[in-house]
Amino acid sequence: MMECGHPYVAICPPRPPVILREDEFGLWIGETSVRRFTWRSRSNVEVQVITYGATVTSIKLPGAGGQIDDIVLGFDNMEGYLNPINPYFGATVGRVANRVGNAKITIDDITYNVSANIGQHALHGGFKGFDKVNWNHHICGNKVVMSYLSKDMEEGYPGDLLVNVSFELTEDNAFLIDFQATSTKPTVVNLTNHSYFNLAGHDKGIEELTKHEVCINADKITEVDKDSIPTGRYEREL
């Protein structure tokens, strides 16, 4: 035991700006482990991401009154994410986010029929999009990189497509998501993170959500038809 005044004083190393830890979130298809990564900063900002769907499950921020608010929607267990009516909460969506009209794409004069999973159209990658697979991962410092190889003609899309998504919480409390993809053939790819935000905290409900204001730096918006398919025309100037 060290006594006060002893010439050899133990000094604890300073806490790192961001702590990253890994644990098991649940199981997928039997015994396949779904991993969860949790970042926590010195100012108590916390972000959680799981390998299933490369999904953001939670973003917690300290409020003005000292409370901690979770500002994105998500589930506490795998059952919620495996539910067929899960509306892509926090997931990485691909190969093509949003809709593909009539589930057809044309590349270099070749027409491909992709999976029509919403009526006659394709939505968010098809029946088994990137949100419905358990991604590989590796840790690089404070960054977690998740990867998935989508094989040629998976859901009808050409080319082996290697996708890497990196997640990082910085010491300045910026949560960064970076998407990269490479293909062995000409193809289409449109990746996004499908988080649902309520900046008042998801437990505050619709009343607080309706008080949000959004500013989008754009001069025009695209026109869509009755099925929310872009027509290729600008609807109007803002």
Contact 225, 194 (CB under 8 A): no
pLDDT at 205: 81
Query: Per DSSP, what are the bridge partners of residue 139?
Result: 144
pLDDT at 5: 47
Tell me whether residue 99 is in a domain.
yes
pLDDT at 237: 58
Tell me whether residue 182 is in a domain.
yes
Per residue, the 3-state secondary structure of 150-181, as one string, reads ECCCHHHCCCCEEEEEEEEECCCCCEEEEEEE
Tell me whether residue 224 is in a domain.
yes
Tell me whether residue 110 is in a domain.
yes
pLDDT at 206: 86
pLDDT at 1: 40
Query: Per DSSP, what are the bridge partners of residue 133?
Result: none
Residue 210's CB is within 10 A of a number of other CB atoms, namely 7
Tell me whether residue 5 is in a domain.
no
Tell me whether residue 148 is in a domain.
yes
Token duo for residue 163: 């996708």
pTM: 0.89
Can you give the pLDDT of all 238 residues of the chain as single tens digits? 444 444 555 566 667 899 999 999 999 987 899 999 999 999 999 999 999 999 999 999 998 778 899 999 999 999 999 999 999 999 999 999 999 999 999 999 999 999 999 999 999 999 999 999 999 999 999 999 999 999 999 999 999 999 999 999 999 999 999 999 999 999 999 999 999 999 989 888 888 888 999 898 888 888 899 999 988 898 765 5
Contact 191, 131 (CB under 8 A): no
What is the C-alpha to C-alpha distance for residues 54 and 91, in angstroms, rounded to an integer? Answer: 6
AA letter at 227: D
- What's the structural domain count of the chain? 1
Tell me whether residue 45 is in a domain.
yes
| Residue 207 domain boundaries | 18-232
3-class DSSP assignment, residue 123: strand
Q: Tell me the CATH number at 122.
A: 2.70.98.10
pLDDT at 63: 82
Tell me whether residue 9 is in a domain.
no
Contact 113, 103 (CB under 8 A): yes
Burial of residue 25 (number of CB atoms within 10 Å: 0-12, 13-18, 19+) = buried
Dihedral sign (CA 84, 90, 95, 96): positive
> For the chain, how far is it from start to end, CA to CA, in angstroms?
71
What is the C-alpha to C-alpha distance for residues 171 and 160, in angstroms, rounded to an integer? Answer: 36
pLDDT at 176: 98
